[in-house]
Amino acid sequence: MPTLNKLVKGIIASNGDIPSTPIKNIQLHSSNVKPGDLYIAIHGITSDGHDYIPEALENGASAVITNGRDVGSLSVPQVKVLNPRKAASYIAAEYYGHPSKELHIIGITGTNGKTTTATLITSILNETGCKTAQLGTLGVIAANHEQGKTLTTMDAINLQKLLRELADDNFSHVVMEVSSHAIHQYRVADVKFETTVFTNLTPEHLDYHGTMEDYYHAKAKLFKSLPLSATAIINASDEYGQRLIKESTAPIIKISVTNNSDVHFKEVHSSLNGISGTIAAGEHEIDFKSALIGDFNMENILSAVGAALAMGIPIGTIVSGINSCKVVMGRMESLAAPNGAPIIVDYAHTPDAYEKVLSTIYNLVPENGCLITIFGCGGNRDASNRPILGRLVQQYSDYFYITPDNPRFEQQEVINKEIIAGLSSEKYEVFLDRGEALQKALSELKSNDVLVVLGKGRETYQEIEGVRHPYSDIDIIEEFCAHNAT
């Protein structure tokens, strides 16, 4: 069993006075502590873990990590560190034996495109026969592992535990989405990345980071700590990507839709049937035919190809992986109404993602058809985006429905009012029940129309006042289609 002095050896100047207390497990939440566990007190956004030390002790904690705050005399060893979040990452990696060193970890970060790029890379790796796991907003996608929904990047302890399980289960590769929150909060500080991908950077999470500059620095941190043995795949068409190219500590493969970077299109075609063309990569020419829809997926395909080339995967295998990746759940996912009208479900929730999805679909709507959009804005998130998203929907839609999308701790009426502030059209309806809006839109959808449902993708809940209520756009659509099939 690991001991306290060995777990903290690398994060304090001297551990001569740290006892060799056995540690059964590591916990960040006092309520989860069991006898013999190490409790790490972290100062969070809404609460301070130091306030819960008494509960952790009552539950049987055998030691406590703190930030040095005066918590009085304790009945168990206390280790004081400058940054408990950073300590949690290191201690978790030590506790689980640094599992990322036994795996090839591919980390993907950026505002948009993480999940699609991860899915494409996973598809390519599966074609090689590698035992591959995918981690991110879709959950854990790995053979014999439960696909539980989680944060884009789970906390440091659960992440290290999962990586240990994957390594022990003979997985060779892990493709993981890495959020800016995870980087900023040191959740991946002790994950050894071999390949990293930067997709793009547009305004998001500014409620957390404050400014685009701080948001960028959170993302860039991943690339500033890479070893020379790693490779960074960076979108050179993005202005922040251009900065990152100069700051990455690892060798770089540049991808671009707009210029002749290391990996670029020699020719490319996009339609409702997908994206096809030829990719130029050094001396290689890669002919492909992808089922993914939308010009913005061109960057994701190039990023996946760049990552695959960095890993030395043969061209034929790359092509097979790209071509066999049929759909990314909740990302431009296409379903058909009983009358044949296309229904596009997408997780888009930022202005950049809205622009990309809606402009793509707008250009593909039949001449005598209408584009109808269902959307909403999340509570306690980027309120300044609400009128912007409203204007974008208005710009591209013939008619639209404003609905809830995880109001969290805000009043839905307030969110709707801020969306409406950006509108000049009256071609919309407001619903306090998203399901009702979706049912109405489906029942009125004509065969030459296109319905776009934005924001929730494959989410299975509505988060209201801290409670996740069961809800799924996909389930409602599929049930409607089943009941109205001819």
pLDDT tens by residue, 216-230? 998 999 999 999 999
pLDDT at 322: 97
Domain membership of residue 94 (yes or no) is: no
Q: Both 17 and 128 in a single domain?
A: no
Look up the CATH number of the domain holding residue 21.
3.40.1390.10
pLDDT band at 15 (very low <50, low <70, confident <90, very high): low
Range among 64-73, 111-120, 351-360, 389-398 rated most confident: 389-398
Domain endpoint, select from 58, 85, 112: 85
Using the predicted structure, report yes or no on whether residue 150 has a pLDDT greater than 60. Answer: no
Q: What percent of the chain has pLDDT over 70?
A: 96
pLDDT grade for 268, boundaries at 50, 70 and 90: very high
Of 421, 415, 333, residue with least CA distance to 381? 415
In a shared domain, residues 169 and 210: yes
Query: What integer best gives the mean pLDDT of the chain?
Result: 93
Q: Of 324, 357, 380, at which residue does a domain stop?
A: 324
**Across-strand partners of 373?**
400, 452
pLDDT for position 154: 86
**pLDDT band per the 50, 70, 90 thresholds, residue 486:** low
Name the band, by pLDDT with cuts 50, 70 and 90, for residue 206: low
Mean pLDDT of 347-353: 90
Q: Examine the fold and report which residue of 85, 107, 136 is the final residue of a domain before the chain moves on.
A: 85
More confident residue, 256 or 333: 256
Residue 92 belongs to some domain of the structure: no
> Based on the domain organization, do 38 and 121 belong to the same domain?
no
Q: Which residue has the higher pLDDT, 11 or 438?
A: 438
In this model, does residue 129 exceed pLDDT 90?
Answer: yes
Question: Quick check: is 148 in a domain?
Answer: yes
113 versus 167: the higher-pLDDT residue is 167
Residue 446 tokens read as 């004509």
Q: Is the pLDDT of residue 153 over 80?
A: no
Q: Which of 252-266, 284-298, 395-409 has the lowest mean pLDDT?
A: 284-298
CATH code (residue 281) = 3.40.1190.10
In this prediction, residue 464 carries a pLDDT of 97
Mean predicted confidence (pLDDT) in 342-354: 91
The pLDDT of residue 116 is above 70: yes
If asked whether residues 450 and 355 sit together in one domain, one would say yes
Give the mean model confidence (pLDDT) for residues 309-317.
Answer: 97
Q: Is there a domain that residue 292 lies in?
A: yes
**Least confident span in 5-19, 279-293, 369-383, 444-458:** 5-19
Q: How many CB atoms sit inside 10 A of residue 456's CB?
A: 28
pLDDT at 17 over 90: no
Structural domain count of the chain? 3
Q: Containing domain of residue 358, as a range?
A: 333-483
Residues 199 and 182 in one domain: yes
Question: Given a cut of 80, is residue 479 above it in pLDDT?
Answer: yes
Say if residue 27 is in the same domain as residue 9: yes
What is the model's pLDDT at position 2?
94
pLDDT at 255 over 80: yes
Residue 209: its pLDDT value, please?
A: 59
State the average pLDDT over residues 139-168.
85
Task: Give the mean model confidence (pLDDT) for residues 74-91.
Answer: 95
Within this chain, do residues 338 and 381 fall inside the same structural domain, yes or no? yes
- 152 pLDDT above the threshold of 80: no
On whether both 61 and 106 belong to a single domain, the answer is no
Same domain as 174, residue 289? yes
| 266 and 299 part of one domain | yes
Assigned domain for 152 exists? yes
Output the pTM of the full model.
Answer: 0.80
**pLDDT value of residue 484:** 93
pLDDT band at residue 327 using 50, 70 and 90 as cut-offs: confident
Residue 77 located in a structural domain: yes
Are 30 and 73 in the same domain? yes
**pLDDT score, position 190:** 96
Most confident of 70-84, 258-272, 395-409: 395-409
Residue 90 within any structural domain of the chain: no
- The verdict on residue 91 lying in a domain is no
Give the pLDDT score at 293: 86
Range 409-423 average pLDDT: 97
The verdict on 81 and 141 lying in the same domain is no
> Which pLDDT does position 149 carry in this prediction?
56
Residue 151 has a pLDDT of 57
pLDDT in tens, 233-249: 999 999 999 999 999 99
3-state secondary structure the chain: CCEHHHHCCCCCCCCCCCCCCECCCEECCHHHCCCCCEEECCECCCCEHHHHHHHHHHCCCCEEEECCCCCCCCCCCEEECCCHHHHHHHHHHHHCCCHHHHCEEEEEECCCCHHHHHHHHHHHHHHHCCCEEEEECCEEEECCECCCCCCCCCCHHHHHHHHHHHHHCCCCEEEEECCHHHHHCCCCCCCCEEEEEECCCCCCCHHHHCCHHHHHHHHHHHHCCCCCCCEEEEECCCHHHHHHHHHCCCCEEEEECCCCCCEEEEEEEEECCEEEEEEEECCEEEEEEECCCCCCHHHHHHHHHHHHHHCCCCHHHHHHHHHHCCCECCECEEEECCCCCEEEEECCCCHHHHHHHHHHHHCCCCCCCCEEEEECCCCCCCHHHHHHHHHHHHHHCCEEEECCCCCECCCHHHHHHHHHCCCCCCCEEECCCHHHHHHHHHHHCCCCCEEEEECCCCCCEEEECCEEEECCHHHHHHHHHHHCCC
Using pLDDT thresholds of 50, 70 and 90, give the confidence band for residue 341.
very high
